[in-house]
Amino acid sequence: MLVLMLALTLAASASAEPTAAQAYLDRMLAANAAAVAELDRYVAYAESAAALLVRDPDGPGASLWLAGDNGFVLEGFNRAGGLMIAKRLKAPEDAAAGDVVLIGSLYGDDAETAVLVSSVAERGALAIVFAPRSAKTDAKFLFLDAHADSPVESALPTASPAIAQSLWTFTGELVTAMMRQSGRTPPLFVSVHVPNGRERNADRKGMRWDPQNAEPMPAGLAGRRYLARLANSMRMLRATQADEFADAGDRAADVRARGGTVWLSVLGHMLPDQPAQVPEGEMPFTMLPGREPDRVPELVKPGDLVIYVGYYEPFGTWAQTVHEADAQLVTVVSGTPETPASAMGADINICGCWPWGDVLIALAPSDLDLAMLPPSGVVQSAAFWMLLAETRHSAL
């Protein structure tokens, strides 16, 4: 019965004129389908990168670096479901011959990316660029097209969530290629919100290989599963949360029309970098400092609206504190095993539709409890633009 109800909901959603938020997700789903069509490229690049990273399995070995767009770097760095060996490249000269450098760019053909790619390549490192288009440079590099719109091409760019989607698809293929080539498993971060998550991460800090060994996966399987499951999360978001996004946009536009402030509090790796992509003077939200509601009594006035985009549930007493300020609250979280997203106590509770634990791929055998590839960064980033889309639409 539940499956039938979901199917009917999806069918009804697909047949109706898309809302502003749904139209944004449709663009992300198109980018997802394009990545599926290019999985062979992901596999080939991952095999090349893995060969470098496992070349000296018992020594210090080559390094895996993250560089370029700050949001992209933060999405892949110290991230639940991500590789623990990935490091932030603070300067191009830190890269050495035989290293692998993953470079994210919101534009791809900008001068800054071209200089970074050239500098990395000159040092003999393998550069892999994730961007909406290929960088115009003579340096040797590999390019993965995010099939997205950059901030200069759209008022609602898909570049950030799309390059994150590409990053995690590639990471899945990189991990499994390393496993096939070395017979070992690189360590993967666990969400600090799950039981013993912090302790598990601390036990593996500084390790190059996990003490446990998972079974290798065939080439292409991890990437295909990740993209399919991420698409399912986005389809669920589109089918079940459209009215809530539209309602949030209506309330935000109404608050602004009455002279109030729409505050935005975000918690995520890539998410805090999204507002900077909005041109000056066009941002309808005001950033609320901190990730807990301690500044609400000082800053939030009666009639204001607070939008909180986070992980499983708001950190701290957001609902109580915002309502004590006689303001409204919108939450975008995924819920916990004890409390669903619909029960966060906000005026509008939006479910992010990603699973508890923030991983989409479990490694076998299951008793190892090893998993990888988070969906939350992609969905959180998309949710920001969806809320912005609905607010702008309602203000027309």
Q: Is residue 109 part of a domain?
A: yes
- Using DSSP, state whether 3 is helix, strand or coil: helix
Residue 83 has pLDDT above 80, yes or no: yes
HSE-up of 353 (CA within 13 Å, CB side)? 19
In a domain, 11, yes or no: no
CATH number at residue 123: 3.40.50.10490
Q: CA 131 to CA 148: how far, in whole Å?
A: 8
**Does the pLDDT at position 72 exceed 90?**
yes
Q: Considering the domain boundaries, does residue 4 fall inside one?
A: no
Tell me what pLDDT residue 7 has.
56
Q: Are residues 246 and 377 in the same domain?
A: yes
pLDDT of residue 164: 98
Same domain, 200 and 244: no
E runs forming strands in 298-359: 305-309, 328-333, 348-351
Mean pLDDT of 323-327: 98
What's the whole-number mean pLDDT along residues 106-115?
Answer: 93
What is the structure's pLDDT at 136? 61
Q: Closest Cα to residue 208, out of 100, 370, 59?
A: 59
Are 85 and 118 members of one domain? yes
Instruction: Give me the pLDDT at residue 6, please.
Output: 53
Q: Strand 142-145 to strand 100-104: parallel, antiparallel, or no bridges (unpaired)?
A: unpaired
Q: Determine, yes or no, domain membership for 13.
A: no
| Whether residues 261 and 350 fall in one domain | yes
Residues 83 and 141 in one domain: yes
Determine the 3-state secondary structure of 384 from DSSP: helix
Length of the chain (residues): 396
Largest CA distance in the chain: 65
Same structural domain, 131 and 153: yes
Whether 122 maps to a domain, the answer reads yes
Does residue 115 have a pLDDT over 90? Answer: yes
Give the number of domains in the chain.
Answer: 2
Separation of alpha carbons 396 and 390, rounded Å: 10
Q: Are residues 175 and 263 in the same domain?
A: no
Q: Is residue 231 very low, low, confident or very high in pLDDT (cuts 50, 70, 90)? A: very high
Answer yes or no: is 175 within a domain: yes
In a domain, 14, yes or no: no
CB 65 within 8 A of CB 90: no
Is 347's pLDDT higher than 80?
yes
**Within 13 A of 299's CA, how many CA atoms are on the CB side?**
16
Q: Taking a C-beta distance cutoff of 8 angstroms, is the pair 353, 205 a contact?
A: no
> Does the structure show a pLDDT above 70 at 252?
yes
Residues 245, 217, single domain; the answer is no
Task: Compute the distance between CA of residue 286 and CA of residue 293 in angstroms, rounded to an integer.
Answer: 15
Cβ contacts of 50-56, under 8 Å, gap ≥ 24: 50/174, 50/177, 50/178, 50/180, 50/181, 51/181, 52/98, 52/99, 52/100, 52/126, 53/85, 53/100, 53/174, 53/178, 54/178, 54/181, 54/182, 54/184, 55/98
Q: Is the peptide bond before 132 cis (omega within 30 degrees of 0)?
A: no
Lowest mean pLDDT among 14-23, 160-169, 367-376: 14-23
92 & 136 share domain: yes
Specify if 3 maps to a domain: no
What is the value of pTM for the model shown? 0.94
Residue with tokens 């091409």: 153
365 upstream amide cis, omega within 30 of 0? yes
* Domain end point (choices 176, 198, 232): 232
Please check whether residues 216 and 248 belong to one and the same domain: no
The per-residue pLDDT for range 53-65, each reduced to its tens digit, is: 999 999 899 999 9
d(CA 196, CA 361): 19
What's the pLDDT score for residue 4? 53
If pLDDT is split at 50, 70 and 90, which confidence band does 2 have? very low
**Same structural domain for residues 309 and 384?**
yes
Q: Which domain holds residue 390?
A: 239-395
Both 202 and 148 in one domain: the answer is: yes
Domain boundary among 190, 211, 232: 232
Q: How far apart are the first and last CA of the chain?
A: 40
Q: Are strands 371-372 and 361-362 parallel, antiparallel or unpaired?
A: antiparallel
140 pLDDT band, cuts 50/70/90, is: confident
- Domain final residue pick, 203, 232, 261: 232
